[in-house]
């Protein structure tokens, strides 16, 4: 299969790329800029795309690199350190009602990119662990570990807003740090 045209790429992937960019950056304006930048780079490198069914992974990688390039100098952002956090015990889990997208974004914004990106890819684009590992160029074990910690963090963070007073108060992922 040959490489697809620009219109085909935009029609097939612009929406998911925008959502990915929005969840990465937390800003509609940044998301749009990132998608523009991604397609701008894709057009100049279209000859590198050998197979159309690799387009999604390829475009997501370009977008993430563009995003990392932008935030490289923004390391001052305060993020929640999860490196020392293990998975929360199962007993702490509770059924989670509908999650507010804004709360989710706020929680994602507080995460370091190395945890945020796997979570977004896993939940939003339904990438497999293997796809995520390939996308981020990480060992699959590292991806599993980061996803487990990221999920635990999200559970604790979002369950904190759980209106159900009967639910057990979950321990925050960063408690005790």
Interacting residue ranges for other proteins, rule: CB under 8 A: 6-7, 10-11, 14-15, 18-19, 22-23, 28, 31-32, 35-36, 39-40, 43-44, 90, 93-101, 103-104, 120, 122-124, 126, 128-130, 144, 147-148, 151, 154-155, 158
Task: Give the Cα separation of 142 and 79 in Å (integer).
Answer: 19
Residue among 163, 72, 148, 155 at smallest CA distance from 115: 148
In angstroms, what is the minimal distance from the CB of 176 to other proteins?
A: 22
Q: Which is nearer to other proteins, 112 or 162 (CB)?
A: 162
- 93 phi and psi, to 5 degrees? -80, 150
- Count how many residues are written for the chain: 177
C-alpha dihedral, 133 to 136 to 138 to 144, nearest 10°? -50
In angstroms, what is the minimal distance from the CB of 136 to other proteins?
A: 15
In angstroms, what is the minimal distance from the CB of 90 to other proteins?
A: 6
């Amino acid at each position: 299969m040959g490489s697809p045209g620009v219109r085909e790429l935009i029609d097939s992937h612009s929406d998911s790329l925008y959502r990915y960019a929005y969840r990465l950056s937390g800003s509609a304006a940044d998301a749009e800029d990132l998608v523009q930048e991604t397609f701008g780079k894709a057009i100049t490198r279209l000859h590198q795309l050998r197979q159309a069914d690799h387009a999604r992974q390829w475009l997501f990688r370009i977008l993430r690199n563009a995003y990392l390039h932008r935030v490289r100098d923004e390391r001052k952002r305060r993020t929640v350190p999860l490196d020392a956090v293990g998975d929360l015990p199962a007993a702490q889990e509770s059924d989670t009602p509908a999650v507010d997208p804004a709360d989710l974004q706020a929680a994602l914004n507080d995460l370091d990119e190395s945890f945020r990106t796997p979570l977004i890819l896993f939940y939003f684009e339904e990438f497999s662990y293997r796809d995520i590992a390939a996308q981020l160029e990480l060992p699959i074990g590292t991806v599993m570990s980061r996803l487990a910690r990221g999920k635990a963090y999200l559970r604790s963070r979002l369950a904190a807003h759980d209106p159900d007073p009967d639910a057990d108060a979950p321990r925050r992922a960063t408690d005790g740090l």
